[in-house]
Structures are given as structure tokens and as C-alpha cells.
Amino acid sequence: MNIQGKVVIVTGAASGIGQATAYLLAEKGAKVIVADLDANRAQEVSQAINAKGGDSQYFQIDVTSYEANQKLVDFSIEKYGHLDASFLCAGIMQLSRLSDIKVEEWDRQIDINLKGVMYGIAAAMPVFKEQKAGHLLTVSSIAGLHPFIDTGAYCASKWGVRVFMEVIRRESADEGTNIRTTTLYPGDIDTNLTAHTTDAAIKAGLEKVYEEVAIPADRVAQAIAFAIGAPADANVSEITIFPTKQVI
């Protein structure tokens, strides 16, 4: 795998899959920009990377702001001179019955999970087009492949990511820009994703399932590293990762 020296943005990097990926990529020689809304945690992750001999910067970002995403890309290029990949991992999950009409939660999930990804892509795209190279990576979900009850807005946000990324892959190939895309569809992963669900009964059931089958976030990080390290003429466009014990 060819990761050494690559400059990689990771959003949502203060915890979960983003954090695990930031650590692993840094171990493999990437220069990692640790980006998160939680500036203190982002700084801690970045400092931990540097303390182990890695090369990292941190950046506070609200991914729901297009301007903030642009500033993140500008910051990365200012620090390292170019950008090789952007892993857009920030996301939340707020499960509820659609009949409960939790519109604010619907909006929040679309804003972060879908529009946050779109804004991150829009910020990196001009750089990648000019370079004639670049890699966009996102986290969808198995909920981006299969609809489940209690997950309507979350599913909508993740299906949106899936479709948006596939169109980018096809358009990039058609335009000859050499921009690669990777969309991940994780199953139950041991992160703090369940913390945002406000329906107590749904949250309790979800946490019980996670306790029984969830796997560590570094399993997903390994898949991200594989995709980034693949030869430039190979586009690992989709990766689905289930815990071995998970049925669906």
C-alpha cells in the first residue's frame, strides 16, 4: 500500500471511525489533518499522533458550513502544499419513528450527514481537478443500502451520500480528472453514534444490539487505509463491513 507521505483530511476525527482512521493513517506515514467540531479532542488526537513521531495538524470545523470546509482545505494546502485525500467521516444518528415528526432531528442529520459531505466534496474538488488526482472517501451505512424502521431520516441522509458519490465516480471517469471515490457501508461499529438518539426505547434497544455484536472502529480504519493505498488506476469505490455476528 502506498500511503507514506500522503496528505489526508479526516473530519469527525475526534472519536470513533474518524479517530481510528487518523491514528492508523499516521502510523502508515500519512500527514493527517484532524478535523472536528470538538477542537479540544481534535487537538488531543493530533498531539497523540505527533507524540508517536507522526505528522499531524488539527482544525476545528462545523461541517454544515461550506465556508468552513473551504477553510479546512485551504489550511491543509497551506500546511503541506497539496492534498491527496479527504475522508469525510463526521456524522450523527438520531433514530425515531417518522410519525413522531422530529423535524429538527431530520434537518440535523441531513445537514451533517449529507450536506456536510457535499460541502466537503465541493471544497476539495477544485484542488483535485487542478492536480488531476485526489481521493474522496465518505461513510454511508448499511442504512444507505437497506431501509429499516425507526431510521427514516438517517437512511435518507446515507442513501443520499451513496448516490452522490457514485455520480462523482462516473463523472470523474468521464472527465478524466483521476479523482477516486470510496464509500463505506459499515454495520454495527463500536463508536458513540448511538448517543445522539433521543428516543429512550429505541436507544436502549440499539445499545443492546451494539453490545452484542459491534466491532472496534479500527476494523473500518483498515479498510480506509487499503482504499487510499491502492494503486492510482484502481478505484475501490464501495466497501461494506459487517461484524461477523451481525445478521443485518
Q: Which of 23, 154, 185, 210 is catalytic?
A: 154
Q: How far is it, in rounded angstroms, from Cα 85 to Cα 28?
A: 14
Length of the chain: 248
Mark whether 154 is an active-site residue: yes
Instruction: Give residues with Cβ within 8 angstroms of 100, minimum separation 6.
Output: 199
**Cβ-based burial of 167 (10 A; exposed 0-12, middle 13-18, buried ≥19):** exposed
Look up residue 73 and give its DSSP letter: H
Whose CA is closest to 149, among 17, 217, 248, 16?
248
For residues 3 and 232, the answer to whether their CB atoms sit within 8 Å is no
- Which three cell numbers mark 58? 488539527
Q: How far is it, in rounded angstroms, from Cα 197 to Cα 150?
A: 10
- Residues taking part in catalysis: 154
